[in-house]
Chains A and B, each alone.
Chain A
Amino acid sequence: MAKRIMTVDDSASVRQMVAFTLKKEGYEVIEASDGKDALSKLTGTIDMVITDLNMPNLDGIGLIKGIRAQAAYKFIPVVMLTTESQAGKKAEGKSAGATGWIVKPFTPDQLLAVVKKVLR
């Protein structure tokens, strides 16, 4: 059964790149445009979430906390997309329960390497 990954980003181009890369590898992908949208789509089996940090409505940190608050998603891998300048955000994300991070900009290969690293 294909693993289902949710990608959350307000930038459609990033979302598309992530979704395209993952689909090509055989993953099922759910797209969400921000934290709020993501939480509303958080039902059924979701094996992993990849989220941007800076987003309208609900940002990445908020989303991570929201995910961890739900029993069904308490332990799933959540990877945040950060930029080099967001060192503080990275620590904040980790303490909110993020599994890891990918530094932007990234290549499809780097993305897949991280997905394979954290997805069981």
Chain B
Amino acid sequence: MKRVIEGSHAVAEAVRLARVQVISAYPITPQTHIVEILSEYCANGTMNARFLRVESEHSALAALIGAQSCGVRTFTATASQGLALMHELLHWTSGARLPIVMAEVNRALAPGWNIWTDQTDSLAQRDTGWIQMYCEDSQEVLDSMLQAYRLAERVYLPVMVVLDAFYLSHTFEPVDVPTQEEVDRFLPPYQPRFQADTENACAFGQLVPPGAYMKMRHNIAIGMDEALKSLNEIQEEFYAIFRRRYNAVEAVCCDDAEIILVTSGTITSTSRLVIKTLRGRGEKAGILKMKLFRPFPVEMIRKAISHAKKIAVIDRNFSFGASGIFAQELRAALYNTPDHPPVFGYIAGIGGLDATVELIEEIYWKTKNTAFPDEESIWMGI
């Protein structure tokens, strides 16, 4: 049934439909609406789950590590400083092969205090072994959350579903909220491969010598590779029930495009409008929407954009001393292909600054009118 709800609410509905058993969270703007709704669902019996109101984000994830180790489905949500505080345990989660799912609301890191959208918080966690999915609208948020549980529990790796602060978390949109029956068909109850059990006493996460450690790390790498394949299969299963599909990357008008904008999050929606206008004027413009950031879908990217004349990556994030993070990854993905197009890196919308239609159009013309990028990153709107 279609309902007009906030992005935060879409997350909460997915958590309810996924029959999550343990939730643990600590409040941080703009994540609070997610946990407020879930608190109510736990209090009024809409959900049969335990809600742990812990004293920090670090403890929120620690509690889930404990719960998930005992074989139940879990959830947390955070943003910005909260995610940074969790950093140590992000590594722990993937190392322990725990399929925990988290909603991460992209918010700028302090100082100075800024609650608006910015991707640096989540992208700075790229080496922690979490699968990361970026969302464009609230429907995609809800659907990605359901898919996240399916994927996490298939490859035994945690998943972060990422949504823009306010543009998604606090914006009302029509969202098709599926029925419990439909979701149950897609997402069966969690059947853990291993769990702490007094009938079968095991040690989890103990001291491990280098040879075995390296093998375990290699297994995580294999799990990430499998995640890419599994996500494609899961999309088909999801489509069969819900008639919606999201690929790791989405190529919009890319087949004949000469200039392709690479986008993620809500900037993609704005870019769709820009491309429509440009196409109307005869410009051969396209978009590559990045949904999946980890694992990085290298082959799909190469296939979608290698033929273009120029690539313009729009990054709402920055790695100081290097460049925009999507641009970095994209350059690396293209490097081993012959005659790859030049990659222009644009930094836009940092700390929630508006990334408008005009700004994106300016990025397009700048790219078209410049033969080759003479700097790694072009900061827009400052």
Do A and B belong to a common assembly?
no
Name A's B-contacting residues (CB within 8 A).
none
